[in-house]
Amino acid sequence: MDRRKFLKNTGWSFLGLAASGSLLGACAPGSKDAKKIMPSASDLKMYWGDLHNHCNITYGHGDMRDAFEAAKGQLDFVSVTPHAMWPDIPGADDPRLKWVIDYHTGAFKRLREGGYEKYVAMTNEYNKEGEFLAFIGYEAHSMEHGDHVALNYDLDAPLVECTSNLSSRKQKAKGHKVFITPHHMGYQGGYRGYNWKCFTEGDQTPFVEMYSRHGLAESDQGDYPYLHDMGPRQWEGTIQYGLELGNKFGIMASTDQHSGYPGSYGDGRIGVLAPSLTRDAIWDALRTRHVCAATGDKILIDFRLNDAFMGDVVRGNSRRIYVNVTGESCIDYVDIIKNGQILARMNGPLTPVAPEGDTVRCKVKMDFGWNREEQYVHWQGKLSLDKGKLHGVTPCFRGAAFTSPQEGETEFHTHVNRIVSVNDKETELDMYSSKNPNTTTAAMQAVILDVEMPKDGKIIAEFNGKKFEHTLGELLEGSRSHFMIGWLSEAILFNRAMPESCFTVEHYMEDKEPQRDTDYYYVRARQRDGQWAWSSPIWAERV
């Protein structure tokens, strides 16, 4: 399946509550009622980026050029983000916080002493219209208002100073096209958590960063709690709190990664629904809230309400809802949320069911890592098929697991992973894996193979002088793993093959019961491997 073809795909499966007749308003694909709900075709595509990440240009680790190279390897657009200012920085009279003041003010000084000019020049160097877009951005901290990122349209955008009131930065930014986006919103108010009193609906803050390495701020419950020493997650900074206040904003994610690896897998990515990979098209899609959030996998969510796209506002009491989700692994469930409650849930299978027939379309994830030693393992080799066709290879490359400056890591070197080549039979890879820092934080590198092949066809891994192979039939039964040297050495995992029926969901329904003057709806999708994606809301106004 061509990942760029966002609509009009075939082979969708309908999973979940409606299949047993317990979901009000649902109808099966292809039925007479479904034809009334099917949205119009669209030529929009999903492009993926990271608009908030860090390297050693201020405080952080990894060379800026390596950061841009890493971004090019698995993203369509990026803003490598220097830390720029903290007008209300605390701790002047508290010796306990002196180190906080020192490393922040030192970083801000380096940015103003030539660092910003170097950053602007390299951003311009990497920006290639239609191929890979680079944006200028920078971060400002605020105890009172929460941390924000300023993202600029112009490739010669200046560094605009602000006072402790971030609205002053909005005023100074007039004349320049800029988005000002809050992030790690769920921290305690007054301690760099988001203050929703600062939110102003409009072109300057069309979306907010709900997920990053800091955790998930959808609500004060659920996956990815805040674990950084900046404190726990609380309700008043969350997305659902802001939506319940009546605010309109898009939902996105970015990594907030501090080791020079934009798009680091699992740390957060923004998806943008746009007609082309041009600066104007991407910027306009950002402005109109046609954005979504993903943790790592590029999960495609086509969410429509009366032909409106995510981020739009419609009028009408009858809401025709269409959802089409394509994951990268087995879907656990897909939720349609209305006003903070689940309107509908479509469940995926507990265990994927191997399809009938000899030739099968599947996705197979290959993981490399689990090294025990401190040194990086350099993986060089290829994955190949002896039969069938390789339709595509999706990178799942991670950077080092840093969220803050690391003591003693002043010379940290980013190990950039690469897909060297791809054809319809094989892909050559060059990757580096580190040891998992603990039993709950992954540091493996991976790719996802999109294959169409007979069940007796083999997927072959040849790396670092070793060769392992399994038939697709074996992988449809379950995953297979191999140590490279022996027990407690690095390993390769052939993950369970995922047939199309387990990673695709299509659903139609109609909601004829307005609850408020303006109701909001959004979609979230969870895979069984813990990867998530969320659409931006669509708002429906009562007539």
| Tokens 């760099």, residue located | 192
**pLDDT tens-place string over residues 118-127:** 999 999 999 9
Per-residue pLDDT at 101: 87
Tell whether pTM > 0.85.
Answer: yes
List, in sequence order, every beta strand (DSSP E) within 183-278. Answer: 207-212, 215-216, 250-253, 269-274
Lowest mean pLDDT among 2-6, 148-152, 184-188: 2-6
Across the range 97-125, mean pLDDT stands at: 93
Question: DSSP letter at 19?
Answer: G
Which H or E element spans position 333?
Answer: strand 331-338
Per-residue pLDDT at 170: 52
- Mean pLDDT for the chain overall: 90
- Sorted by sequence, the CB contacts under 8 Å of residue 213 that are 6+ apart come out as 255, 256, 257, 264, 267, 268, 403
Per-residue pLDDT at 97: 84
Per-residue pLDDT at 529: 97
Per-residue pLDDT at 96: 85
Per-residue pLDDT at 38: 76
**pLDDT tens-place string over residues 163-212:** 655 554 554 556 789 999 999 999 999 999 999 999 998 889 999 999 99
- What confidence tier does 34 reach under pLDDT thresholds 50, 70, 90? low
CB atoms within 10 A of CB 9: 16
- What confidence tier does 91 reach under pLDDT thresholds 50, 70, 90? confident
Per-residue pLDDT at 19: 29
Assess whether pLDDT exceeds 50 at residue 270: yes
Distance CA 16, CA 29 (A): 13
Nearest to 281 by CA among 271, 291, 270, 273: 273
Assess whether pLDDT exceeds 90 at residue 325: yes
Compute CA distances 61 → 65, 82, 252, 381, 487, whole Å. Answer: 12, 11, 24, 28, 32
Nearest to 284 by CA among 258, 250, 257, 261: 250
Assess whether pLDDT exceeds 50 at residue 1: no
- Give the rounded percent of residues in the chain with a pLDDT score beyond 70: 89
Lowest mean pLDDT among 47-61, 95-109, 141-155: 95-109
Q: What is the 3-state secondary structure (H, E, C) of 49-107?
A: EECCCCCCCCCCCCCHHHHHHHHHHHCCEECCCCEEECCCCCCCCCHHHHHHHHHHHHH
Assess whether pLDDT exceeds 90 at residue 26: no
Distance CA 446, CA 264 (A): 11
Assess whether pLDDT exceeds 90 at residue 27: no
- As to burial, measured by CB atoms within 10 angstroms (0-12 exposed, 13-18 middle, 19+ buried), residue 415 is buried
Question: DSSP letter at 464?
Answer: T
Compute CA distances 224 → 210, 214, 444, whole Å. Answer: 11, 8, 19
Lowest mean pLDDT among 37-41, 227-231, 286-290, 458-462: 37-41
- As to burial, measured by CB atoms within 10 angstroms (0-12 exposed, 13-18 middle, 19+ buried), residue 530 is middle
- Give the rounded percent of residues in the chain with a pLDDT score beyond 90: 82
Assess whether pLDDT exceeds 50 at residue 291: yes
Distance CA 467, CA 486 (A): 14
- What confidence tier does 129 reach under pLDDT thresholds 50, 70, 90? very high
Assess whether pLDDT exceeds 60 at residue 23: no
Compute CA distances 460 → 361, 419, 465, 520, whole Å. Answer: 17, 16, 13, 47
- What confidence tier does 313 reach under pLDDT thresholds 50, 70, 90? very high
Lowest mean pLDDT among 47-51, 434-438, 499-503, 515-519: 434-438
Phi, psi of 281 (to 5 degrees): -70, -45
**pLDDT tens-place string over residues 236-268:** 999 999 999 999 999 999 999 999 999 999 999
Q: Are 443 and 369 in contact (CB under 8 A)?
A: yes
